[in-house]
Every structure is written in structure tokens, then in C-alpha cells.
Amino acid sequence: MTETATTPVQDEQGTPVLEARDVAVHFGGVKAVDGLSMTLRAGKIYGILGPNGSGKSTLLGAMTRLTQLTRGELLFDGEEYHKVPASQVAKKRVARTFQTVRLLPDLTVRDNIQLGADARTTEGTGSPGLLRTMFGQGVSPAVADAIARTNLDGFEDYYPSELSYGTQRRVEIARAIAMNPRLLLLDEPTAGMNQKERAEISKLLQSLRGEGLSQLLVEHDVQMMIDTCDYVFAMNFGHLIAEGTPADVVRDPQVQEAYLGKKWREHA
């Protein structure tokens, strides 16, 4: 975890994968996200920092169409998708994890991960046929790969309730990876994990970046952000207050004020 794997980059390079333009999500009078724009490019790891209630998770919900936009546009590969149902977003190969672990309690670890792999069963050639697709009980190679990459070997037959919180988190990440995504949205992926597990997840995300996978990470562990992300956005009260390399964003006075308050900043 202590090694810094990222080199500061200008976020102008790379093909845009996802673009959010003037995105707003209002819940009655509460402006959870208010006029936010950002571009996520191919093969990079982005992070979102912000105090609780700053709108980070709501933004992820909007990007996956689980939360309705009040206004604004979302584009994936240059194509608008802010009016399609949430289930169509997965077909664009956008995978996500949630702020609190969401696994199906009656499925084993293997089946929970296979649920992610199922999303890509019908795509491409070599379709196994309708009946086998619908009712077949085979495990796809993507599941074995996701299990190996998240160090879940040996846990395949466990049920979620039998696992520690950190291990449940890894199952969620494995399910997302099994979808063979082009963009991975991770909402506090290392919450509940110990330092060793965090380092492993950071290494995994960097290895996925090496394969060209774009990632957007919401995380409270700043060291994890610094070690893992290429570019960081900071949010407060639904607005972007800073963006840049992780080190720059962490030093930004507005970010420090958002977390620590004006008085503390003046005192320092």
C-alpha cells in the first residue's frame, strides 16, 4: 500500500468512456448532485472524495440509471444513455458495487459471482443455446477468473452470511469483474477490509487498469486513493470543488475546508 503506483497525469489523454454533463439529482428541495460535469477516459482510475452526504453515491446511482436525473446528460462512448432503463446500462458493460454490500443471501459465493457473469452470457458468438443459457448450471470461466483475482479460492461454496464483511466486499468486486466491464464503478470498495486486503484490492484495480478497464472509485481511505487513482474529483454539497492528481486535491484548501471546517483551516 505504501508504494505509489501512479504518476501524475493530465486528464486530457485517452478516449472518453463516460461523460456527465451538467448532471443534477434533486430530491425535493435537497440538491444531492447539482450541475456536475466530468469525463472519465479509457484505462484510468478516477476517484471521488467528499464528506458524507456530498453526493458521491448519488452520482454513482445516476451514472448507473438507478437514480433518476433531474437534469443533465450522460454519454457512454459518445452515445446518450440518460433515458435508458438501468438494466440497459449493464449491457453497455458498466458494472458497479454498492456502498453497503449487496449479495443475494440464498446464493453461494460462486452463484453470486455467476450472476455478474450471466450479464454477458448472451453477448458475442458461441451462444450455448436458449435452454442451456436459461437453465444450465455450468460455471463460466469468467467466474473462476474473478474468484482467483479476488483471492476468494476456497470460499466458493460459502453463503454471504458465513463470510466476514471484508470478504463479502471482495465477492461484490468479483461479481462486478465477472461482468467483463469497460467501466467499473466502486462505491467504498475497501470499507471493512484490513490493510493487507486494501493493498490487494489496490493492486487488483491497478492490474485491471493495465488491461484497459476504466474505474471510478468512491473511497474514504485517502492513502488508498493516492496509491490507486490517476485523477481525483472532490465533491461537496453536490458540486465539484476540486479535481486533479490525488496529491493536489488533498492539498486543495477547499477540500480541506470541506472536511475540517473553516476555523480549523485558519488555525492551521
Partner 1 sequence: MMDFFDSNVVLVQATFIGLVLALSVQVPLRMGVFSFAGAGSFGIGAYLAGIITIKYETPGIVAVLITMVVTAVIGLLLGLVISRLAGLYLAMATVAFDLIISVLAINGGELTGGPTGLYGVLSDFGTIHLVIVTLVVLALVAASEIGRTGRRVDAVRDDPELAASVGISVRRYRLVAFVVSGALGGAAGAMNILVRSTVTPQDIGFGLIVLALTMIIVGGARSWKGAVLGAVIFTWLPELLTIVGDWQPLIYGIIVALAAIFLPRGIHGLWVDSRRALQRRRREKAAGGAAGVAGDDDDDSGSTVIEKLKESSEMEATP
Give least dist CB 13 to partner 1, A.
27
Q: For partner 1, which stretch binds (CB under 8 A), given 5-13, 22-30, 36-44, 85-93?
A: 85-93
Alpha-carbon separation of residue 250 from 12, 109, 128, 178, 239 (angstroms):
20, 37, 50, 33, 17
Q: Rule CB under 8 A: say whether 233 interacts with partner 1.
A: no
Q: Rule CB under 8 A: say whether 53 interacts with partner 1.
A: no
Question: Which three cell numbers mark 170?
Answer: 471482495
Question: Which three cell numbers mark 256?
Answer: 480541506
Q: Rule CB under 8 A: say whether 259 interacts with partner 1.
A: yes
Q: Rule CB under 8 A: say whether 155 interacts with partner 1.
A: yes
Give least dist CB 206 to partner 1, A.
16
Give least dist CB 111 to partner 1, A.
6
Q: Rule CB under 8 A: say whether 49 interacts with partner 1.
A: yes
Q: Rule CB under 8 A: say whether 250 interacts with partner 1.
A: yes
Q: Quick one: which of 141, 162, 207, 254 contacts partner 1 (CB under 8 A)?
A: 162
Q: Is the dihedral of CA 92, 144, 102, 224 positive or negative?
A: negative
Question: Which three cell numbers mark 246?
Answer: 490525488
DSSP secondary structure code for residue 151 in this structure: T
Q: Rule CB under 8 A: say whether 100 interacts with partner 1.
A: no
Cβ within 8 Å of residue 260, ≥6 positions away: none
Q: For partner 1, which stretch binds (CB under 8 A), given 26-34, 35-43, 90-98, 141-149?
A: 90-98
Helix (H) or strand (E) run with residue 14 in it: none
Nearer to partner 1, 83 or 251 (CB): 251
Q: Strands of 231-236's sheet, edge to edge?
A: 94-96, 183-187, 214-218, 45-49, 231-236, 239-244
- Determine the size of the site formed for partner 1 (CB under 8 A): 68
User: Between β-strands 16-27 and 71-76, what pairing exists: parallel, antiparallel or unpaired?
Assistant: antiparallel
Q: Rule CB under 8 A: say whether 251 interacts with partner 1.
A: yes
Q: Rule CB under 8 A: say whether 159 interacts with partner 1.
A: yes
Q: Rule CB under 8 A: say whether 166 interacts with partner 1.
A: yes
Decide: helix, strand or coil at residue 181: coil
Tell me how crowded residue 160 is: count the other CB atoms within 10 A of its CB: 19
- Do 179 and 94 touch, CB atoms closer than 8 A? no
Q: Quick one: which of 221, 231, 238, 241 contacts partner 1 (CB under 8 A)?
A: 221
- Do 11 and 44 touch, CB atoms closer than 8 A? yes
Contact residues toward partner 1 (CB under 8 A) are 1, 49, 51, 64-66, 85-91, 95-96, 98, 102, 104-107, 111, 114-116, 118-119, 121, 133-137, 154-155, 157-159, 161-167, 175, 179, 190, 192-195, 197-198, 220-224, 250-251, 255-256, 259-260, 264-265, 268
